[in-house]
């Protein structure tokens, strides 16, 4: 039986495994009927939170989720989606501005075939946009009943704190959840993001708990590098020859041995590890196929002993990302030379 967890201090109860739908649509499973069957099986298995985004397959993922929740399933699901990414050639069809938020929420509501979104998340920070403008627009949507709660994704600790202070000082609805990357191979958020989330009572919905496939057992030394649509889009994160990825490969193999010794699959070890952290609410799984979903269901029932957790810390130290690319977001202060060079 599923043991539901509190989403921060909201009083909303969600399953430890959340169903991510990035792989439904043109990016992954193009069969809508099959994708709907996968969603239904996840719900029938006790999962009650679905996470999607407007940019997943250009809105197709939201459309598939809307189909899956038709016929009376919507009321029992905590539905989360995101905005920020570019969806057109117009310079204003992206970002965190009031103009785009007010327009895009209507698009998401239409694609999802629903009257409200439970958790509407800012997909990435946008330093050039006043956070108060973003929170102001989102607060208005809460008051209008179009969204229930506000969340963020892949925000740095300082931005999370800024959101809390902005809400308090400007009388806005506050952010109640953060969605960061977290896995056995990417533990960087243990340093500050998770402690800050705990301090402010935020729910944490972690993405990529299988490290984009590195923790499925598909990557092996000497074997041909697996192909996937994700690897094609983000080649640097999956090139085995890259130093950071070589470290990930070595760690994944050591973790696979540990999982076998513990009588677990590597997938089960990876998901159970993420859910072990006291600040994490749910781990977002993103299956493309029915078989992938089946391999991940039940991982929330796995309990890792102290000896196994200690061995994990020896393989990948706490607070460490083996590859910097797995952080999910690099601030403009680092990527833009003009912000770090007086002579630029």
- DSSP letter string, 135-164: HHHHHHHHHHTSEEEEEEES--HHHHHHHH
Report the distance separating Cα 327 and Cα 324, nearest Å: 6
End-to-end CA distance of the chain: 59
* 149 among known catalytic residues: no
In degrees, rounded to 5, the angle at the alpha carbon of residue 68 between the alpha carbons of residues 67 and 72 is 95
CB 175 within 8 A of CB 181: no
Structure tokens at 223: 């074997």
Q: Which of 4, 56, 149, 329 is catalytic?
A: 56
- DSSP letter string, 50-64: EE--TTGGGGHHHHH
- DSSP letter string, 270-322: HHHHHHHSTT--EEEE--SSHHHHHHHTTGGG----HHHHHHHHHHS-TT-BS
Residues annotated as catalytic (active site), given as ranges: 56
């Amino acid at each position: 039986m599923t043991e539901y967890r509190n989403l921060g201090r909201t009083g909303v109860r969600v399953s430890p495994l959340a169903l991510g739908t990035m792989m439904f649509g043109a990016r992954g499973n193009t069969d809508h009927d099959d994708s709907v069957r996968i969603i239904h099986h996840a719900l029938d298995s006790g999962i009650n939170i679905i996470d999607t985004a407007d940019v997943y397959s250009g809105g197709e993922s939201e459309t598939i989720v809307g189909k899956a929740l038709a016929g009376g399933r919507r009321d029992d699901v905590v539905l989360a989606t995101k905005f920020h990414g570019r969806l057109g050639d117009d310079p204003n069809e992206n970002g965190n501005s009031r103009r785009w938020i007010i327009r895009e929420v209507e698009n998401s509501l239409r694609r999802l075939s629903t009257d409200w979104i439970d958790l509407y998340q800012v997909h990435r920070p946008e330093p050039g946009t006043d956070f108060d403008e973003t929170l102001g627009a989102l607060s208005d949507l809460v008051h209008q009943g179009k969204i229930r709660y506000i969340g963020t994704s892949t925000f740095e600790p300082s931005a999370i704190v800024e959101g809390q202070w902005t809400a308090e000082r400007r009388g806005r609805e506050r952010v109640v959840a953060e969605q960061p990357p977290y896995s056995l191979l990417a533990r960087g958020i243990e340093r500050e993001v998770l402690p800050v989330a705990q301090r402010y009572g935020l729910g944490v919905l972690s993405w990529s708990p299988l490290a984009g496939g590195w923790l499925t057992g598909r990557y092996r030394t000497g074997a041909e590098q697996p192909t996937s649509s994700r690897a094609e889009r983000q080649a640097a994160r999956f090139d085995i020859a890259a130093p950071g990825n070589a470290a990930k490969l070595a760690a994944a193999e050591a973790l696979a041995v540990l999982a076998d010794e513990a009588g677990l699959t590597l997938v089960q070890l990876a998901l159970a590890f993420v859910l072990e952290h006291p600040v994490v609410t749910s781990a977002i799984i993103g299956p493309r196929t029915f078989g992938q979903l089946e391999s991940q269901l039940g991982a929330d029932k796995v309990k890792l002993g102290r000896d196994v957790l200690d061995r994990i810390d020896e393989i990948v130290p706490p607070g460490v990302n083996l590859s910097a690319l797995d952080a999910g977001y690099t601030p403009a202060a680092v990527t833009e030379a003009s912000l770090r060079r007086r002579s630029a």
